[in-house]
Amino acid sequence: METTRLESFSDGVLAVAITLLVLDLHVPDRTHGDLGHLLWNQWPNYAAYVVSFFVIGIIWVNHHAVFSHIARADRPLMFVNLMLLLSVVLIPFSTALFARYVRADTADAHIAGAVYGATMLAMSVGYASLWWWATREAGGLLHPHLDAVQARRTLRRFGAGLLAYAGTIGLAFISAPLTLGVHFLLAVYYAFNQLRVEGQQPAPGND
């Protein structure tokens, strides 16, 4: 099957999930103090909004990059993609939870940070599975001119991301705010670290 509808459905889910992040920015109620102070007091929500916006944005950019290498979709690919989307749709929830508890003095901050990290770990497992299935040796789904063996080798890079995200779960038990910073840095890393698969000639219209 062609990948057109798979991409357009994924674009839709990612677009809705990234826009729902705004629902965690609350209009403060005047009765609790002056507005400037109340807005300032919401800073974890803004910080979490920016980090999660870039995380979902970069998930989209890389989804785009991965699918520019994939020539056709089969049924398992659709389910692996659904599993990836299941974790992405959780991000607005994890973000709201993190923003609400990151300043707590108690263990609650650690738990909220760990849930945020676990969501990202699930997302990176989804990504690695997608690429693993698309580049498998027999019956892979890549454009025929691409070098499947070399493409497969890039899986190691996905493995590194997996370890990093697992690490942020542990880090959350040391410092929750620090975890948010590390998630931002990981997003920046994935922003630059473009998936490159070489082939004899570029796919028409994809390069």
Cβ closer to a second copy: 89 or 166?
Answer: 89
**Considering beta carbons, is residue 14 or 151 the nearer one to a second copy?**
14
Report whether 137 contacts 148 (CB < 8 A).
yes
Which residue's structure tokens are 């798979």? 6
Among residues 155, 187, 151, 143, the alpha carbon closest in space to that of 48 is found at 187
- List residues near a second copy by CB under 8 A: 1-2, 5-9, 11-23, 25, 27, 30, 34-36, 39, 50, 53-54, 57, 60-61, 64, 68, 75, 78-79, 82, 85-86, 89-90, 92-93, 96-97, 100-101, 104, 106-108, 111-112, 115, 191, 194, 205-207
C-alpha distances in angstroms, 112 versus 78, 108, 169, 182, 192?
Answer: 31, 6, 10, 15, 28
Question: Closest distance between a second copy and the C-beta of residue 39, in Å?
Answer: 7
- For a second copy, which is the closer residue by CB, 21 or 146? 21
Cβ at position 47, least distance to a second copy in Å = 13
What is 184-202 written as a DSSP string?
A: HHHHHHHHH------BSSP
Residues 3, 73: Cα–Cα separation, whole Å: 5
* Residue closer to a second copy (CB basis): 163 or 185: 185
